Amino acid sequence: MGKSDTTLIAVGGGEMTEAEDVLKEFLAPLKKKPNATLIVMTVATNDHPFAARKYNRLFHRLGIGKVQAIDVSERDDASSEQAVEKVRKAD
């Protein structure tokens, strides 16, 4: 696998709104890219649709235009063809 300019930021869920200042720092380079895509992988939730909506609103509010969520309810979901393709196309 070759070098990538994709950035991975691993954060715990919970109330990420309390960490907005820290998130803004991490997201600053991404916001400079036109049509940047951020991927959220919901790992530790029983309600993927709710978590996806919550993160979508949060990251849009922080200036990210395109946010996509990947449901990782089961371990194999993380390596599914659809998930891998989304990650490959992410910024």
* Amino acid in the structure at residue 65: G
On the question of pLDDT at 13 being above 80, the answer is no
pLDDT at 15 over 90: no
Stated pTM of the model = 0.76
* Residue 53 to residue 64: CA distance in whole angstroms: 14
**pLDDT tens figures, 35-72:** 888 888 888 788 889 988 988 998 898 888 889 999 99
Q: In whole angstroms, what is the distance from residue 53 CA to residue 46 CA?
A: 14
CA atoms within 13 A on the CB side of 2: 3
Whether the per-residue pLDDT at 33 is higher than 80: the answer is: yes
| C-beta of residue 64 within 8 angstroms of C-beta of residue 30 | yes
